[in-house]
Amino acid sequence: MRKLLLSTVIAATAATGAFAQSASDVAKARRAFYTLVNFEMSTLGGMAQGKVDYDADLASQSAGDLMTLASLHTADYFAPGSSNEDIPGETRAKSDIWDDMEGLQEKGMAFYQAVAELNEVAGNGLEALQPAMGKVGGTCKACHDDFRAKDF
């Protein structure tokens, strides 16, 4: 019953609602997604922290790529059966996600909105970039605190 309910919730948010991939494939895609998110964030974070020189073009480009990533439909990366209880050692996604899909979506929306705001200002100088990056970083942490386990 629980599985059925959760599948319904996910189906409502996914483009197709049909998941042909194995749980391992889902976890791999999910982790690859966040690896890309992190890659773009590292470029911007380096500038925000003064580790590399601010470059308006590069900052705009990375923020744009982050926006593209944040715009993906990620419901299929959270297909049921792919939590760290289902496939231990392959993922850090806590099973809490599937008990609180709404909570996950809220955190995802906060991330999306912060990235949208970042896009507005990333090319406008370091002083504009820094607070916007702080806000995006806060949304990463908020989701990880609730839904990502520390260890595999």
Q: Which residues of this chain interact with ligand HEC, rule CB under 6 A?
A: 27, 30-31, 34-35, 37-38, 41, 91-93, 104, 107-108, 111, 136, 139-140, 143-144, 147-148
> What are the DSSP E strand ranges found in the chain?
none
Q: Binding site annotation covers 143?
A: yes
Q: Tell me how far, at minimum, the Cβ of 18 lies from ligand HEC, in Å.
A: 21
Q: Tell me how far, at minimum, the Cβ of 4 lies from ligand HEC, in Å.
A: 23
Helix spans in 14-100 (H): 23-48, 56-70, 96-99
**In the complex with ligand HEC, which residue's Cβ is closer, 17 or 88?**
88
16/38 Cα distance (integer angstroms): 27
* Cα 151 from chain centre: 18
Which of 71, 73, 77 is CA-nearest to residue 111? 71
Question: Which H or E run includes 72?
Answer: none
Q: Tell me how far, at minimum, the Cβ of 72 lies from ligand HEC, in Å.
A: 12
**In the complex with ligand HEC, which residue's Cβ is closer, 7 or 95?**
95
Q: How many CA atoms lie within 13 A of 22 on its CB side?
A: 5
Q: Tell me how far, at minimum, the Cβ of 41 lies from ligand HEC, in Å.
A: 4
**In the complex with ligand HEC, which residue's Cβ is closer, 10 or 37?**
37
- As annotated, the binding site for heme c includes 140, 143-144
